[in-house]
Structure 1
Amino acid sequence: MILWLVGPSGSGKSTLGSILAERRNGQFVDTDRIVEEKAKESVDEIFRRQGEEGFRKLEAEAIEELVRKVKFREQLVVGTGGGSVIDPRNRDLMRSSGLRIYLDVDSARAIQRLVHSEERPLLSQSDPMEDWLRLRAERDEAYMDHDLLIDANGNPQEIVDAIVQKLHRFHTSSWKIDAKLDGVTSRIRAYRSPWSAIRAYRLATRLTRSFIITDSNLAHHYPELLKRLAGSKGVVRVVDPGEGGKSFSIVEQLVEEIASHGISREDCILGFGGGVITDLAGFVASIYMRGIRSFAMPTSLLAMVDASVGGKTAINASDVRNLVGTFSQPERVLICPAFLRTLPQRELRSGLVESMKMGIVRSKVLSDLVQDALPDVLEGKIPMMVDEVIRMSIATKLDVIGEDVYDKNHRALLNFGHTFAHALEAAAPGVWTHGEAVAFGMIAVTKLASSEDGGQSDKQRKEWGERTEEIVKRVLPLTNPDGERPEVEEIIKKMQRDKKTKWFLVRFVIPVGKVGTGWMVRGGFSEESIPKAIEEAWKLIDDYHGRTLS
């Protein structure tokens, strides 16, 4: 394992790295020194002759060489250049091979440490403070992609003490849940860093080969991490992102490739990605040789809180979402919230919707926790309590599933908002994320419950309406770039083919009772009430966001 020390100039990487390596009976290396040895000239001379671009190229080569040569159990501490983290490729190499320790230092303390240094080519002699602050601001977003934050302003020995103390946490999961469903145990574990998750997966599969399914977006972001997951004998298969990947044709291709590599029942399939990938990988694992070991490493919030947990696997067919599927529990689900740092804001907001859903129908505590997380999410930040949101969402879902593993009755409450959602997705493929569609569905079904005799008292109707509408409309300004939406009639047409339809009646999960406690499955609404609910949901969203659609 490599401990990567990252941070601005003057944060003490070389001093602290030497002490830390000695404490861990390991070796310390400095990427600047490696570059100098290879180029046979100083960092300052490289900058003068080749410019920053030339130096960064040599620096990237040094980092790649370190990762390639280090052994899995080797203890290596690496001090990096202040700008090394700018390159996404370097960040991927670091996260896949160890832990990234960010040394946070005050500007005054950093400049004090650098006052006699002659090896800081990007800091001017006339105003080093201004240059330092500028570089720090330019690199701040990259610095925030770390595993461990350390205050590096104090005494070196005390700083290393703090690092050593915090490192112990990374060798175990931050929390764990054993989901025992119908005699099968699925082990769900959360890890504080990608490297910790990789290590856990490699240990669990050390005697087998892995067939890893991911999409092209993730393959671009995490090439080295995927290599580490696969090991020397594993295979990584990349599919196109999006719902189009959940099809019979893709499944057939995957099965043929798995067989061509000689994957046996003792080997395993890992889904590394969002909900589409975990669904697809789980389905393939459940049908190949009548079922082989299945693992999931979700990378989106939606997959972490919902799609990867519970044992439902599915693909789309006949223009119906998740029409063909199996019930098959993954052997392990390895969750690492650090993956959320590369998630677009839209996906982060969308993922939170499934947690909202479970909180609204089952747990007021979870519902309140999601509300607390909203301000950060709306600003595109990862909430401090995201780990607890994930844990509680999973626990809440498993609490429901434990009463109805095979979706005969009680598990239906997890479909709150999904009848409208799946119809919207089918009527306008690729326009809205699944979370956005579910958000719309929750608003629409709450409107539907308020019509006719939805089973609610006036007080309950008000409580459900406030909780559903206020949360969801704040999070999801639902529209597409052209401002066009499918016709109400088209949504209703798609709804007729929903899996939850029974005796030719479209059924809905209707909220009743208090928030977090009451629900019922009901069909038989009048012909007027369903289109009215759809139109009222659109109007609510438009009114809140100040839009009008022609």
Structure 2
Amino acid sequence: MLSLPIVLTGLPGAGKSRVGERLAARLGVPHVDTDILVECMAGVDIPTIFRQQGESEFRRLECDAVADALTMNAVVSLGGGAISSQAVRQMLRGASVVYIDVDHEELLRRTADHTHRPLLRDDPDGALRRLRTQREPWYVEVARVTVHSDSRPVEHVVEQIMAMIDSPSSDRRITVSGPRPYDVVIGSSVDIAAITSSLSEDASKVLLIHAGPVTDQAQAIAQGLRQRGFDTRCVVVPDAEDAKTYDVAIRLWGEAGDFRLGRADAIVALGGGATTDVAGFIAATWLRGIDVVQIPTTLLAMVDAAIGGKTGINTPVGKNLVGAFHTPARVICASDSLATLPSADLRAGFGEVIKCGFIADEEILTRIEETPVEEVLIPSSQVQEELIARSVAVKARVVGEDLTESGLREILNYGHTLGHAIEKHEQFRWRHGEAVAVGCVFAAHLAHSLGLIDMTLVLRHERLFSLLGLPIRYTNASLGQLMTVMLSDKKVRRGDLRFVLLDGLCRPFSRVVTPQELIGAGEAMGMDVTDVPAM
């Protein structure tokens, strides 16, 4: 629950001051802008401080201003760069911090003519991109909730924050932007209000699709929905990939028809990634698309499958070849559902978490390195919820800019080119996160052999995945055999084999690689490379 003081953070141009003024007026409390406090303390304006005393002196004054502001019963608009100070981040821990997230193009439009901002004066586009890369992990670290701002009036953001003040929940919220923005709610348990508040005002029925192992939780959620007036029907689907079949889809369409599920009604999915995939597909296709609320119950589904709008079923030809992009109305990640997850499945989920750290958020890696493994693996622990939130934020930022996988979203496939080949060769006996771990280590060795990264970063890959008990080698097939599988993947374009690689920590990019370029990485991984074709 948000309580005073409420602190607004975000990049330059996010609208912290305007939102702060309106929010303070609505709450009947003062509005404090730390930039104005700094100017009062220095006796000159901010450009003069930068010009005469430099950024370091400005940051020192800003730290003092934040400390003063946090003692006030007010709405506080934090200077965009204040978050770069470790001392400020420490002060904000436990505070009611709201991160105002804005898409890059909208930020650029807002700041294009703002020559009074010293850090944006010369190259607004490049500067904003650099600032986002540098500061966004810090915003996510301190934020209790995240709201999205776009071209709509400032009152839209104020209303989002007011709704959270009135809510009894203190869950973290991260907004996934795009054509249909939606929230990812991260907390310890499922709040029925978080489900119902995301549904259409005209909704009267909910089809709750769930996996067998979470039947008790499904019944509890169904009871809560019925108590709030929603006619609710529970339908169980097979666990894991057995749920993603044509026969299961036909049965679910039949259930929706028999239940007379209308266009204003909704589907709620409860289970792992396979459950959220098939339920999302049914929602995307029933009546040409109805709302779906995703409640993932595995770590892998929380940080990957349930977020991003990918839905689908498998066919004899391959996995996920029949599907649709269909964004959910909301995603609810309840960490207490991980308490009954088998240890191996929980550890495998961290394969995707660590991947997110290497491509976009080093703080994920640092937290895992500095925290005892036992604490990282405790469901609902503070560090685990933070790691989930950070991983969600990475994926949210990427899919918010590229829903249909036309460009940027490709970086989420780090470790997946080889990882998918391992899964297929093992006939999916390997867990996805285990295969991704090996794939990331292979990609790191490949980047090193190409002169893109040093061995220190490669060894950091091996150390982190090993720390969580994940494999870092695979010798059940030769590199040539795996290449054959990789070349049959649906992401292959024009017969070219593409890998997402790192050109430094948190600097992913995609490039075509030749068979000969793979040999060095294969040898470093102890793989049989004698059958790699010469091309």
Pick the aligned partner of 1:240 from 215, 238, 241. 238
2:171 maps to what in 1? 174
The 1:319–1:429 alpha-carbon spacing in structure 2 relative to 1, beyond 3 Å, is farther
Alpha-carbon distance, 1:373 to partner = 4.7
2:468 maps to what in 1? 475
Distance in 2 (alpha carbons) for counterparts of 1:311 and 1:416: 19
**SS of 1:294's equivalent?**
strand
Query: 1:212 touches 1:230 (CA, 8 Å); kept in 2?
Result: no
Distance in 1 (alpha carbons) for counterparts of 2:238 and 2:526: 31
Query: 1:315 touches 1:323 (CA, 8 Å); kept in 2?
Result: yes
2:459 maps to what in 1? 466
| Match status 1:208 vs 2:204 | yes
Percent of matched pairs sharing the same residue: 29
2:502 maps to what in 1? 511
Distance in 2 (alpha carbons) for counterparts of 1:386 and 1:216: 25
Distance in 1 (alpha carbons) for counterparts of 2:346 and 2:292: 26
The 1:270–1:377 alpha-carbon spacing in structure 2 relative to 1, beyond 3 Å, is same
**SS of 1:402's equivalent?**
helix
Distance in 1 (alpha carbons) for counterparts of 2:472 and 2:501: 25
The 1:290–1:430 alpha-carbon spacing in structure 2 relative to 1, beyond 3 Å, is same
Q: Which runs of 5+ in 2 are unaligned?
A: 1-164, 529-535
Equivalent AA in structure 2 for residue 200 of structure 1:
A
1:449-477 CA-partner distances (Å, limit 9, x unpaired): 233xx251xxx322330221111133235
1:280-322 CA-partner distances (Å, limit 9, x unpaired): 1112111111100111111111111222112222322344332
2:38 maps to what in 1? none
> How many pairs are equivalent?
359
1:502 maps to what in 2? 493
Structure with greater Cα Rg: 1
| Match status 1:189 vs 2:185 | yes
Equivalent AA in structure 1 for residue 467 of structure 2:
R
Query: 1:320 touches 1:426 (CA, 8 Å); kept in 2?
Result: no
1:525 maps to what in 2? 514
1:332-387 CA-partner distances (Å, limit 9, x unpaired): 11121111111111111111111111110111122222334561267766643111
Distance in 1 (alpha carbons) for counterparts of 2:482 and 2:264: 45
Alpha-carbon distance, 1:230 to partner = 5.3
- How high is the TM-score relative to the length of structure 2? 0.62
Equivalent runs, 1:486-497 vs 2, <5 Å: 486=477, 488-497=479-488
Distance in 2 (alpha carbons) for counterparts of 1:203 and 1:402: 22
Equivalent AA in structure 1 for residue 217 of structure 2:
Y
1:424 maps to what in 2? 422
| Match status 1:306 vs 2:307 | no
2:217 maps to what in 1? 222
Query: 2:206 touches 2:233 (CA, 8 Å); kept in 1?
Result: yes
1:400-421 CA-partner distances (Å, limit 9, x unpaired): 2233222111111100001111
Alpha-carbon distance, 1:224 to partner = 3.4
1:164-184 CA-partner distances (Å, limit 9, x unpaired): xxxx99921421122221x21
1:75-124 CA-partner distances (Å, limit 9, x unpaired): xxxxxxxxxxxxxxxxxxxxxxxxxxxxxxxxxxxxxxxxxxxxxxxxxx
1:232-285 CA-partner distances (Å, limit 9, x unpaired): 721111111112322223222211221122111111011101111111111211
Query: 2:192 touches 2:221 (CA, 8 Å); kept in 1?
Result: no
The 1:415–1:477 alpha-carbon spacing in structure 2 relative to 1, beyond 3 Å, is closer
1:25-74 CA-partner distances (Å, limit 9, x unpaired): xxxxxxxxxxxxxxxxxxxxxxxxxxxxxxxxxxxxxxxxxxxxxxxxxx
The 1:285–1:499 alpha-carbon spacing in structure 2 relative to 1, beyond 3 Å, is same
- How high is the TM-score relative to the length of structure 1? 0.60
Query: 1:376 touches 1:383 (CA, 8 Å); kept in 2?
Result: no
**SS of 1:234's equivalent?**
strand
| Match status 1:347 vs 2:345 | yes
Query: 1:440 touches 1:537 (CA, 8 Å); kept in 2?
Result: no
**SS of 2:231's equivalent?**
coil
Q: Which runs of 5+ in 1 are unaligned?
A: 1-167, 541-550
Distance in 1 (alpha carbons) for counterparts of 2:210 and 2:371: 29
Equivalent runs, 1:37-52 vs 2, <5 Å: none
The 1:406–1:467 alpha-carbon spacing in structure 2 relative to 1, beyond 3 Å, is same
Equivalent runs, 1:350-429 vs 2, <5 Å: 350-373=348-371, 375-376=373-374, 383-429=381-427
